[in-house]
Structure 1
Amino acid sequence: MTTSHPALTPVRLGGHELSSRYAVAPMTRVSATPEGVPTQDMARYYAEFADGGFPLVITEGIYPDNAHSQGYLNQPGLVTEAHVEGWRAVTGAVRGAGGVLVAQLMHAGALSQGNRYTAERIGPSSVRPLGEMMPEYGGSGPWPAPREMSAQDIDDVVAGFVVAAGNAVAAGFDGVEVHAANGYLLDQFITDYTNLRTDSYGGPMANRVRLTADVTRAIKAAVPPEFVVGVRLSQTKVNDFTYRWPDGERDAETVYAALAAAGADYLHIASEGRNWLDTARLAGGRTITSVAREVTGLPVIANGGMHDAVLAERVLDGGHADLLSVARAALVNPDLPRRVAKDVELDRFDHGMLDPAVTLDNVRRWREDNQV
């Protein structure tokens, strides 16, 4: 490892010059009000990362409509004026600390386990999700089977993302990230075993990625040119750590090319539940992130163990990615970039920070108990 770590070099993302290549990855906090309004605690939480040296902060998944998109109770939304007003306090706090803030827009689809608007789930096909709901996010028991979406449902979902992106502009965000990863709705369309459709949104990968491309294209057409629009993708899921795109490199190339053509400004490749080393290598020897860079020429964010300075250097110097997103290690080290710059050892993540639920109250309690 070099004395000057490559993660500490500047990089450009859209119209933003970032001081380093570190980003805070989306982490569900379920700490908004029951109505989905962000709180002052959330403003302090997000600003702490920017104050700690993270130049780019990506929010937890935010639900974009008041129909089927909400995934968890106390998840924040970007639907109402109260939501927008609440987020203004967050964006102001992060900007005041010198950070760039991107809102991740997430439709849970079949993986909704807490929705104040409806008990019905929708998905590309009526396929019961694998596994069981997640207790740390307030769920229990098997997932119900969703209702197969109609053409009107698909149009409504796209429209909801567009409205939410407009609300993100009004709330002062610097960009949005379309959540097409980790098993949620857009990923359910991309995944072959949850998408059994026979229309133009089902079948080959070029069709299965169509909805994500439609959402990206529609958002780009509706927001100011300087507003950043990224897409998060993954093979693995919160309820399936082993899934891989069936055609490997060919599927990856198809997905990335479609999203670049739709106008994405960056791609964020996640490793849900796994280290980058466990999920990145494709059968042909290339990595899932390097393929994204080669196919699109866009900035690519790698995720999964990127707090490890040796791995981070390998990913950047090897041309596998341009930026690195950090989740749990950032939660316990909100000043991680500064620690790396000073070669200060990182505090180890303790799962007690998320037990029994992934709330800000539990993080605060853990820090008080551990005098952090």
Structure 2
Amino acid sequence: MWNNLFSNFQLGGLDLPNRAVLAPMTRTSAELSGKANEKMARYYARFAKGGIGLVITEGLYPNHVNSRSYNYQPGIADEDQAASWQPVIEAVHREGGKVIAQLMHAGALVQHNDFTAIAPSAVQPVGELLKEHGGSGEFATPREMTKEDIQIAIDSFAQAAVRAKKVGFDGVEVHGANGYLLDQFVTDYTNQRTDEYGGSTENRIRLTVEVLHAIRSAVGPNYIVGVRISQGKVNDFHHKWANGEKDAQTIFEQLAEASPTYIHTTEYKAFAPAFANTQFTLAELAKRYSHLPVIANGKLGDPEKAESLLADGAANMIAIGREALVNPDWVNKIKEGRALNVFCHQSLEPIATLREEEYA
């Protein structure tokens, strides 16, 4: 019944036992210093123990200057932060899993007052700060980035990727989705620049492409480098690209030229058409125009939906988020025919604050 979901997959140099991926999810459970801790090692290892072949971490900020979004967000901005991830990596590996570090620059979506946020343009983010991560009220208006700021951001992504490789991560994923810095450049209303990083869709995806090129140059041709892309954002859930499939073609073709190992698309419903005038999902469009392996994320905790998406060739792997929080053994439960726990928002807090023995 699960011929596709539980089949092996070769993602670059990683031989994975199945097509199930743990989606990156903000947990804000690191030390205030940005270092990973023992609780996080137990947390991530649970998913590998439960059968998920590939774990993608929450977003790690790449520099101390202006990239951190949340208090208690983990970082990989220096050697000490990177070294703190070794026990996490080892814990996942002991359980037979692989683990990829997601690299995330907040841009304008900053939920503290430790520095002035930067963004493509001085445009106040829509929506309000995220209460579940300690915020309240409106976002501050960011400072427009200079060319020097842009180069610093590119370099910080590349240096973070080098640290991730050195410390033992199996790969990195560039967070170009969900309204954070790279997505702010892609989004028309947050990017009002008139230079080579603004205006056309090709210009607006340029920074993400340059980040991928810089990382690939720094880590070499064989290291796993992915990129996550979305239309919706944490502060603008329903956003769609203005030019529909034409924008998708430009974005995915340009990303492919930067030689990532895979593209990771995330939508509210990964199995739904990406635009009103097309039958194709965002994952399908990513495959069509990039010719790269694609991870799809979005309401795929139902194994029948996940299997169907894979069987149709719409994606190569599926990423599970909130359903994995209440079913860290999602893969093993499905294999054994056991019932899945049903996700509800009230179940988030117990998962985030599990006692030590509950991580065993």
What TM-score results when the alignment is normalised by the length of structure 2? 0.96
Task: Give the corresponding residue for 1:201.
Answer: 197
Q: AA paired with 2:108?
A: A
Task: Give the corresponding residue for 1:285.
Answer: 279
Q: AA paired with 1:183?
A: G
Report the secondary structure of 2:84's partner residue.
Answer: helix
Match of 1:107 among 105, 108, 112: 105
Q: AA paired with 1:237?
A: K
1:137-189 deviation per Cα after TM superposition (whole angstroms, max 9, x unaligned): 01110011110100000000001101100110111001000000000000000
How many equivalent pairs are there?
360
Match of 2:210 among 214, 224, 227: 214
Report the secondary structure of 2:57's partner residue.
Answer: strand
Q: Percent same amino acid at aligned positions?
A: 46
Confirm or deny that 1:343 pairs with 2:345: no
Confirm or deny that 1:163 pairs with 2:159: yes
Task: Give the corresponding residue for 2:352.
Answer: 360
Task: Give the corresponding residue for 1:9.
Answer: 7
Q: How far has the Cα of 1:281 moved from its partner? A: 4.8
Q: AA paired with 1:360?
A: A
Task: Structure 2: give runs of 5+ residues left out of the alignment.
Answer: none
What TM-score results when the alignment is normalised by the length of structure 1? 0.93
Q: Is the 8 A contact 2:270 2:282 kept in 1?
A: no
Q: Distance in 1 between matches of 2:314 and 2:288?
A: 9
1:70-149 maps to which residues of 2 (within 5 A)?
70-114=68-112, 118-149=114-145
Q: How far has the Cα of 1:342 moved from its partner? A: 1.8
Q: Distance in 2 between matches of 1:231 and 1:316?
A: 20
Report the secondary structure of 1:316's partner residue.
Answer: helix
Task: Give the corresponding residue for 1:331.
Answer: 325
Q: Distance in 2 between matches of 1:152 and 1:30?
A: 30
Q: Is the 8 A contact 1:24 1:325 kept in 2?
A: yes
1:269-308 maps to which residues of 2 (within 5 A)?
269-271=265-267, 274-278=268-272, 280-281=274-275, 283-308=277-302
Match of 2:260 among 258, 264, 267: 264
Q: Distance in 2 between matches of 1:17 and 1:161?
A: 26
Q: Is the 8 A contact 2:175 2:227 kept in 1?
A: yes
Q: Is the 8 A contact 1:113 1:138 kept in 2?
A: yes
1:199-252 deviation per Cα after TM superposition (whole angstroms, max 9, x unaligned): 000001000000000000100010033210000000000011111011111101
Q: How far has the Cα of 1:353 moved from its partner? A: 3.3
Confirm or deny that 1:318 pairs with 2:312: yes
Q: Is the 8 A contact 2:244 2:275 kept in 1?
A: no
Q: Distance in 2 between matches of 1:110 and 1:246?
A: 21
Q: How far has the Cα of 1:254 moved from its partner? A: 0.6
Q: Is the 8 A contact 2:270 2:281 kept in 1?
A: no
Q: How far has the Cα of 1:296 moved from its partner? A: 1.6
Q: Distance in 2 between matches of 1:90 and 1:282?
A: 42
Q: How far has the Cα of 1:279 moved from its partner? A: 5.9
Q: Distance in 2 between matches of 1:120 and 1:347?
A: 42
Q: Distance in 1 between matches of 2:167 and 2:74?
A: 13
Match of 1:32 among 25, 30, 48: 30
Q: Distance in 2 between matches of 1:269 and 1:235?
A: 9
Q: How far has the Cα of 1:359 moved from its partner? A: 7.8
RMSD of aligned C-alpha atoms?
Answer: 1.9
Q: How far has the Cα of 1:354 moved from its partner? A: 3.1
Report the secondary structure of 2:74's partner residue.
Answer: coil
Q: Distance in 2 between matches of 1:114 and 1:258?
A: 34
Q: Distance in 2 between matches of 1:240 and 1:263?
A: 29
Confirm or deny that 1:228 pairs with 2:220: no
Q: In the superposition, relative to structure 1, how do residues 276 and 167 fare at CA in structure 2: closer, same or farther (>3 Å)?
A: same
Q: Distance in 2 between matches of 1:98 and 1:305?
A: 26
Q: Is the 8 A contact 1:70 1:114 kept in 2?
A: no
Q: Distance in 2 between matches of 1:4 and 1:324?
A: 13
